[in-house]
Structure 1
Amino acid sequence: MDRAQKAESIETLKGVFAEAGAVVVAHNLGLTVAEMTDLRGRLREQGATFKVVKNRLALKALDGKGGDAVLDLFKGPVGIAYAPDPVSAAKVTSQFAKDNDKFVIVGALMDETVLDAKGVESLSKLPSLDELRAKIVGLVQAPATKVAGVLQAPAGQLARVFGAYAAKDAA
Structure 2
Amino acid sequence: MSKFVKELLQQDFEQRIVNDQIDSFLIVNTKGLSGNENNRLRGELKAKGIKLLVVRNSLFRKALANRGMDAARALFEGPCTLAYGGDSVVDIAKEMSDWVKKIKNLEIRGAYVDGSALDGKGAESLAQMPTRTELLGQGVMRILSPGARVAGAIAGPGGVIAGCVKTLADADKEAA
In the superposition, the TM-score normalised over structure 2's length comes to 0.78
Cα–Cα, structure 1 residues 45 and 166, in superposed 2: closer, same or farther, change >3 Å? farther
Which of the residues 30, 33, 36 maps onto 1:31? 33
* Contact 1:24/1:82 (<8 A) preserved: yes
Gap regions ≥5 residues in structure 1: none
* Contact 2:108/2:124 (<8 A) preserved: no
Residue 15 of structure 1 deviates from its aligned partner by 4.6
SS at match of 1:87: helix
Gap regions ≥5 residues in structure 2: none
* Contact 1:94/1:124 (<8 A) preserved: yes
Aligned equivalents of 1:44, 1:155: Cα separation in 2: 54
SS at match of 2:89: coil
Which of the residues 141, 144, 164 maps onto 1:141? 144
Which letter does structure 2 place at the counterpart of 1:13? I
Which letter does structure 2 place at the counterpart of 1:98? K
Give yes or no for the alignment of 1:101 onto 2:113: no
For 2:17, the equivalent position in structure 1 comes to 13
Query: For the aligned residues, what is the CA RMSD?
Result: 2.7
**1:65-107 deviation line (CA, Å, top 9, x unaligned):** 335x724x32333211123523111121122123212111221
Cα–Cα, structure 1 residues 44 and 168, in superposed 2: closer, same or farther, change >3 Å? farther
Cα–Cα, structure 1 residues 169 and 45, in superposed 2: closer, same or farther, change >3 Å? farther
* Contact 2:26/2:111 (<8 A) preserved: yes
For 2:155, the equivalent position in structure 1 comes to 152
Aligned equivalents of 2:32, 2:163: Cα separation in 1: 72
Aligned equivalents of 1:129, 1:166: Cα separation in 2: 53
**1:32-66 deviation line (CA, Å, top 9, x unaligned):** 34323443355446543322233233222201633
> Could you tell which deviates more after superposition, 78-87 or 34-43?
34-43
Cα–Cα, structure 1 residues 123 and 107, in superposed 2: closer, same or farther, change >3 Å? same
For 2:126, the equivalent position in structure 1 comes to 123
Residue 168 of structure 1 deviates from its aligned partner by 0.7
Aligned equivalents of 1:89, 1:37: Cα separation in 2: 17
* Contact 2:16/2:22 (<8 A) preserved: no
Which of the residues 80, 89, 94 maps onto 2:92? 89
Aligned equivalents of 2:154, 2:65: Cα separation in 1: 61
**1:4-25 deviation line (CA, Å, top 9, x unaligned):** 9532343113455x543x3111
For 2:52, the equivalent position in structure 1 comes to 50
> Could you tell which deviates more after superposition, 88-97 or 35-44?
35-44
Aligned equivalents of 1:76, 1:103: Cα separation in 2: 14
Residues paired across the two proteins, number: 167
Cα–Cα, structure 1 residues 75 and 11, in superposed 2: closer, same or farther, change >3 Å? same
> Could you tell which deviates more after superposition, 5-14 or 39-48?
39-48
